[in-house]
Amino acid sequence: MRMTQLFGQTLREAPAEAQVASHQLLLRAGFIRQLATGIFSYLPLARRAMTKIENIIREEMNAIGGQEITMPVVHPADIWKETGRWYQIGSEMGRFKDKSGRDMVLAMTHEEVVADLVRQEIRTYSQLPRLIYHIQTKWRDDPRPRAGLIRVREFTMKDSYSLDVNEAGLDKQYRAHYQAYFNIFHRCGLDVIAVGADMGMMGGSMAHEYMVLTDIGEDTLMLCDGCGYAANRQIARFQKPLAPAEAPLPVEKIATPNTTTIADLAAFLDIPASQTAKAVFMMAEMAESANQRIGESANRRMGESENQQISKSTSPQSAIPNPQLPITNPEQFIFAVIRGDMEVNETKLANAIKAKALRPATEAEIRAVGAEPGYGSPIGVQGALVVVDDAVVASPNLVAGANEPGYHLRNVNYGRDYTADIVADIAAAQASDACPVCGAPLRAERGVEVGNIFKLGTRYTEALGARFLDQDGELKPVVMGSYGIGIGRLLACIAEIHHDDYGLIWPITVAPYAVHLLTLGPADSEATAVAEQLYIEIQAAGMDVLFDDRDRSPGVKFNDADLIGLPLRLTVAARGLQQHSVELKRRDRKERELIPLADIIPTLKARIAAMEAEIQARVRQVPFTGLSD
């Protein structure tokens, strides 16, 4: 491609809204242009790089038995209603009506479509296992797009779906993807780690995310150097320090003026924060089935005695729900209790109660259930779902709020003074917390997710009736896995990792072109004539080349070559031609060398092969870890 014909142009400065390096450089180098918030056009240079990424993905998917298909980007809402996700997913789902008034969906993902295909195509066990994939546009109306291609609303994704007769088959295909994803990212020049992840709206029994470690990442990862434990902080576990064993002491009301925070309370009473119980107030938007269950639980609590301080020892498991009372509030008040030396993990809390979304409760909402902001206690509240962290259950004689301004209660004990609707691990792991596996200190890193894999099981196939006849003639649901890679985000992460102060530095495997050919001299010069001939010969030898044939100064051409970042720069100039040579430079190195004209083609091939070998050396077998949290 000649730069005089290339659609797009380089920019000297990036727009002010471009905050991260990948966004700035992809804009300046003429790879992308923004149409609207979180919506981008990919210009020819980006399109070529993305095609190379996609072809790497195709090779690795085909190698594990994948068959490429194409599924629609617009879906009838009926299949999303069959699985329930129409009701569970909020405003980020793109919904509209067609001209006949039918509800339609812009694809966020394709589990429903795959399950619908399965119920049409799969009849018996002899048609399984299968693996299908496609590379398709998706839409997710993200409320906070950021960092260029790192977080967008419209995106291209490779998603694959495994179909099996049982969990053993799913495990085999899941492990195949686990390694194939490492192969893909390593071939793209990225080092990644796989961490246990939240299943989220996908559901299932296990999930891993592939993370590029970078300070621009929104995800916090908890990593153990001792045993290799790795999990997204959203679900990371840790060994919680045990509280000393003590006999329960009588509840004592004490004055604690101006102590609305745990730090203030601990300082006032001269006790460690671990001897306090922290109240966290949230409002939850519930999934329909969970809302019914939790509403029944909250109504049950409303019918109990108000004198919770001397309540009988009734465990949550022994409580009898009252299904007669209706659910009238679309949101549920959540009263979370955690030890004062810990923080609530909202993802764990949402998973524990099956919530679609959480938000902080207002002061009016807090007081409506009988609690007091800054002095909240689970004792005596009504109409709230009480969720207690498991460390609180094992910690005797804690100081908790009295639901009265300026007062707390000493010696509050779970089981004697109050009970919970749900007891669960809802604590957020912190750096230096003990690893849940080996006890070594955890460390925290920031990361960007570039891929994910999920063991879905039969959630979608059961909902849509996608069944097969097994060897015994029994109808069973097909067992599914789902596996995704965001193409644009992967492009951005490559740019984020591979750049310097002058511009991009593309790995040879994903570079839009392998060679950037420059001619320094006027159009009628010997340098231009030689460059024109080299342009023809390089293409004839099967190598990608971008030819800067513009009538621009050497400084502009060199700057643009560094900015665009192609792996090899070949410069034809009068000085070199005096020695019947041209200058060759790798973008990722400072050294320049003069190559005789007769040796240009074999030298370029050798350099390209060497760089490809460097990338291939990254590809290695990675031990599978079954840790999903």
Confidence at residue 315, expressed as pLDDT on a 0 to 100 scale:
31
159 CB neighbour count, 10 Å cutoff: 22
CATH number for the domain harbouring residue 84: 3.30.930.10
Ranges assigned E (strand) in 420-525: 422-424, 442-457, 467-469, 475-477, 479-486, 499-500, 503-504, 515-520
The reply to whether 174 and 48 lie within a common domain is yes
Closest listed residue to residue 491, CA positions, set 25, 6, 18: 25
Q: Which residues on neighbouring strands pair with residue 486, listed in sequence order? A: 157
The reply to whether 259 and 313 lie within a common domain is yes
Mapping DSSP to helix (H, G, I), strand (E, B) and coil, where does residue 487 land? Answer: helix
- Say if 244 falls within a structural domain: no
Phi-psi region of 505 (alpha: psi -120 to 50; beta: other; left: phi over 0): beta
**Residue at which a domain ends, from 460, 478, 495:** 495
Q: Over the stretch 72-102, which tens digit does the pLDDT of each residue have?
A: 999 999 999 999 999 888 889 999 999 999 9
Name the DSSP letter for residue 133. Answer: E
Rounded to whole angstroms, the Cα distance separating 448 from 195 reads: 12
CB 485 within 8 Å of CB 184: yes
The reply to whether 514 and 490 lie within a common domain is no
* 469-477, Cβ contacts within 8 angstroms, sequence gap of 24 or more: 469/123, 469/124, 469/125, 470/125, 470/165, 471/125, 476/165
The reply to whether 597 and 520 lie within a common domain is yes
Confidence at residue 17, expressed as pLDDT on a 0 to 100 scale:
83
Q: CA-CA distances (angstroms) from residue 603 to 404, 527, 567, 595?
A: 81, 19, 14, 8
- Say if 228 falls within a structural domain: yes
Rounded to whole angstroms, the Cα distance separating 135 from 254 reads: 63
Rounded to whole angstroms, the Cα distance separating 433 from 428 reads: 10
How much is the average pLDDT of 206-229? 93
Confidence at residue 297, expressed as pLDDT on a 0 to 100 scale:
42
Confidence at residue 326, expressed as pLDDT on a 0 to 100 scale:
31
Q: Over the stretch 496-553, which tens digit does the pLDDT of each residue have?
A: 999 999 999 999 999 999 999 999 988 889 999 999 999 999 999 999 999 999 999 9
Higher-confidence residue of 338 and 244: namely 338
324 CB neighbour count, 10 Å cutoff: 7
Rounded to whole angstroms, the Cα distance separating 138 from 158 reads: 10
- Looking at the predicted structure, is the pLDDT value of residue 277 above 50? yes
Residue 87 has φ and ψ, to the nearest 5°, of -90, -20
The reply to whether 484 and 517 lie within a common domain is no
How many C-alpha atoms does 144 have within 13 Å on its Cβ side? 1
- Looking at the predicted structure, is the pLDDT value of residue 627 above 60? no
**Chain mean position to CA 365:** 32
Q: Which helix (H) or strand (E) holds 163?
A: strand 154-164
**Residue at which a domain ends, from 451, 466, 495:** 495
Q: Tokens 């002491």 — which residue?
A: 249
pLDDT band of residue 34 (cuts 50, 70, 90) is very high
Confidence at residue 287, expressed as pLDDT on a 0 to 100 scale:
65
What percentage of the chain has pLDDT greater than the value 90? 84
pTM for the full predicted model: 0.86
Q: CA-CA distances (angstroms) from residue 315 to 153, 202, 319, 422?
A: 45, 32, 7, 10
The reply to whether 279 and 368 lie within a common domain is yes
Burial class, 421, CB count within 10 angstroms (exposed 0-12 / middle 13-18 / buried 19+): buried
CB 10 within 8 Å of CB 30: yes
The reply to whether 208 and 61 lie within a common domain is yes
Q: Over the stretch 247-265, which tens digit does the pLDDT of each residue have?
A: 999 999 999 999 999 999 9
Q: Over the stretch 54-80, which tens digit does the pLDDT of each residue have?
A: 999 999 999 999 999 999 999 999 999
- Looking at the predicted structure, is the pLDDT value of residue 299 above 60? no
Rounded to whole angstroms, the Cα distance separating 147 from 387 reads: 36
Confidence at residue 203, expressed as pLDDT on a 0 to 100 scale:
63
Confidence at residue 282, expressed as pLDDT on a 0 to 100 scale:
96
- Say if 68 falls within a structural domain: yes
Q: Over the stretch 447-500, which tens digit does the pLDDT of each residue have?
A: 999 999 999 999 999 999 999 999 999 999 999 999 999 999 999 999 999 999
**Residue at which a domain ends, from 391, 424, 457:** 424
Residues in the chain: 629
Confidence at residue 521, expressed as pLDDT on a 0 to 100 scale:
84
pLDDT band of residue 357 (cuts 50, 70, 90) is confident
Q: Which residues on neighbouring strands pair with residue 454, listed in sequence order? A: 207, 482
- Say if 451 falls within a structural domain: yes
CATH number for the domain harbouring residue 309: 3.90.960.10
- Say if 483 falls within a structural domain: yes
The two tokens of residue 461 are 């196939």
Closest listed residue to residue 491, CA positions, set 469, 476, 507: 507
- Say if 215 falls within a structural domain: yes
The reply to whether 82 and 112 lie within a common domain is yes
pLDDT band of residue 288 (cuts 50, 70, 90) is low
The reply to whether 315 and 457 lie within a common domain is no
Q: Are strands 94-97 and 103-106 parallel, antiparallel or unpaired?
A: antiparallel
CATH number for the domain harbouring residue 564: 3.40.50.800
Residue 302's domain comprises: 252-424
Confidence at residue 628, expressed as pLDDT on a 0 to 100 scale:
44
Domains: count for the chain: 3
Q: Which residues on neighbouring strands pair with residue 500, listed in sequence order? A: 503
Rounded to whole angstroms, the Cα distance separating 200 from 184 reads: 24
The two tokens of residue 371 are 């609690």
- Looking at the predicted structure, is the pLDDT value of residue 556 above 50? yes
The reply to whether 419 and 489 lie within a common domain is no
What's the maximum distance between 2 C-alpha atoms anywhere in the chain? 99
Angle between helices 487-497 and 44-63 (to 10 degrees): 110
The separation between the first and the last C-alpha atoms of the chain, rounded to the nearest angstrom, is 48
What percentage of the chain has pLDDT greater than the value 70? 92
- Say if 7 falls within a structural domain: no
How many C-alpha atoms does 16 have within 13 Å on its Cβ side? 0
- Say if 74 falls within a structural domain: yes
The two tokens of residue 567 are 């792996």
CB 349 within 8 Å of CB 357: no
129 cis-preceded (ω within 30 degrees of 0): yes
The reply to whether 275 and 390 lie within a common domain is yes
Rounded to whole angstroms, the Cα distance separating 400 from 269 reads: 12
The reply to whether 507 and 491 lie within a common domain is no
Within 8 A by CB and 6+ apart from 51, the residues are none
